[in-house]
Amino acid sequence: MFPIIDVRGDVIAFGGRVLGDGTPKYLNTPDTPAFKKSRSLFSLNFAKAVRCDRLILAEGYMDVIAMNQAGFAETVATLGTALTADQAKLMSRYVKEVVIAYDTDEAGRKATERAIGILSSAGLKARVLRYEGAKDPDEYIKTFGAAGLRRKLDSSSTSIDYQIEQAGAGKNLAEPDDKVEYLKAVAVILAGVGSPVAVDVYAGRVASEMKVDKQTLLAEIARLTAAARKKEAAKEVTDERRRITSGPSRVNPQRAANLKVSRAEEGVISLLFASPEYLAALEGQLTEEDFATEFNKKIFITLKNVISSGGVPDISDFSDFEMSEIGAIAGMIALKEQLAGTVDELLQFSNTIRHAKSRRALTSTDPEALKKYLESLNK
């Protein structure tokens, strides 16, 4: 049983580690208002006191204790679970570099790959401790001593080196098929690297080792990077569209009760942002009074005023709107990626809005509204 202590030195929970092969292997205090295992790290209270420029991320409690006994007090561990983004963010408050010291078995290798991505996303430089002749840091210390482990720590691999090495593991790189698969895997790895300089350096090294043209490898990396950016951009548009089309909006509470016509209103707004000249096509076809929702009506009025005065509409024209409303408007602008963008499409949206208004008038219990509708039929 191990006490879990927060960075202020308070015991906030306990963690258990089974002795032997029983299950569960780890058992922690359930989450409480003071303790969230996904946001806590074992021994961080001691590690931060060392004021080292790096942290060592071990796999479990026993590894941390063994590392501390050997003089590596900057060692921490997750609480019997996989590393989380919150834990990585917590580490980033104290250091800029983390050395991953997981076990050398298959589970450890998979956990290392996952940890590299999470640490990198938190802005941390990830390195990987590579050791032979032992399955974990505790065993390595017992076999080679603390001095041996320190040498390994100081020469630990960069995360990119580690991933490239793993990409070649188990392959016969003298065989053309294995060589191609390896180079494709390297291209995927380097496409995820944010630094163009690092990409150039590693691509050059691998190309030289594999005796292939560096420019060919760089071209494949560029293709993968462009594809990833396009996919991410499409996801952002889809997410934004889902956000403004799912459920009643806080900024447009009338939307849920008028979903079809609201979508048409948003389509008109999106098309007018993209093609202001389309406003002329709506002359005599659509007015703000046709809109079913007050929020979209307010946007349409602003758009019409800006375009009619010779301006090109921009999100800055809505500076008097609330931030949440501006966010919704940005989502409508993003809809253009999902639209055909034609005048015919604009007029289809207009017809949907006008027909919805007609249906509202026919079912209205307001005599004045019905009178206005009947008068419009005679025009």
pLDDT over 70 percentage in the chain: 92
Least confident of 156-165, 241-250, 310-319: 241-250
* pLDDT digit string, tens, across residues 167-218: 999 999 999 999 999 999 999 999 999 889 999 999 999 999 999 999 999 9
Q: Which pLDDT score is estimated for 371?
A: 57
Confidence of residue 26 (pLDDT cuts 50, 70, 90): confident
Q: Which pLDDT score is estimated for 302?
A: 96
CA distance 171 to 296: 59
CA distance 236 to 239: 5
CA distance 329 to 168: 48
pTM passes above 0.85 = no
* pLDDT digit string, tens, across residues 34-44: 899 899 999 99
* 286 φ/ψ angles, rounded to the nearest 5 degrees: -150, 135
Q: Which pLDDT score is estimated for 359?
A: 84
Asked if 234 and 328 touch (Cβ cutoff 8 Å), the reply is: no
User: Mean pLDDT over residues 233-259, rounded?
Assistant: 71
Q: Which pLDDT score is estimated for 293?
A: 95
Q: Which pLDDT score is estimated for 33?
A: 84
Count Cα neighbours of 245 within 13 Å in the Cβ-side half-sphere. 17
User: Mean pLDDT over residues 332-361, rounded?
Assistant: 91
Find the DSSP H helices in 275-342. 294-308, 323-334
Most confident of 51-55, 243-247, 297-301: 297-301
* Residue 372 confidence (pLDDT) above 70: no
* Residue 11 confidence (pLDDT) above 90: yes
Most confident of 6-10, 101-105, 186-190: 186-190
CA distance 224 to 229: 9
Q: Among the CATH numbers 3.40.1160.10, 3.30.530.20, 3.40.1360.10, 3.40.50.970, which is that of 2-161?
A: 3.40.1360.10
* Residue 369 confidence (pLDDT) above 90: no
Residue boundaries of the structural domains of the chain: 2-161, 170-239, 256-377
* Residue 365 confidence (pLDDT) above 80: no
Q: Which pLDDT score is estimated for 1?
A: 87
Q: Rg (Cα) of the chain, in Å, rounded?
A: 30
Helix (H, G, I), strand (E, B) or coil at 213: coil
Helix (H, G, I), strand (E, B) or coil at 75: strand
Q: Which pLDDT score is estimated for 248?
A: 41
* pLDDT digit string, tens, across residues 133-162: 888 888 999 999 999 999 999 999 999 999
* Residue 247 confidence (pLDDT) above 50: no
User: Mean pLDDT over residues 220-232, rounded?
Assistant: 90
Helix (H, G, I), strand (E, B) or coil at 71: coil
Mean pLDDT of the chain: 89
Residue 284 Ramachandran class (φ > 0 left, ψ -120 to 50 alpha, else beta):
left
Q: Which pLDDT score is estimated for 240?
A: 60
Topology classification of domain 256-377 = DNAb Helicase; Chain A (1.10.860)
Which residues in 359-370 are b (16+ Cβ under 10 Å) and which e? eebeeeeeeeee
In this structure, are strands 97-101 and 125-128 parallel, antiparallel, or unpaired? parallel
Confidence of residue 219 (pLDDT cuts 50, 70, 90): very high
Confidence of residue 99 (pLDDT cuts 50, 70, 90): very high
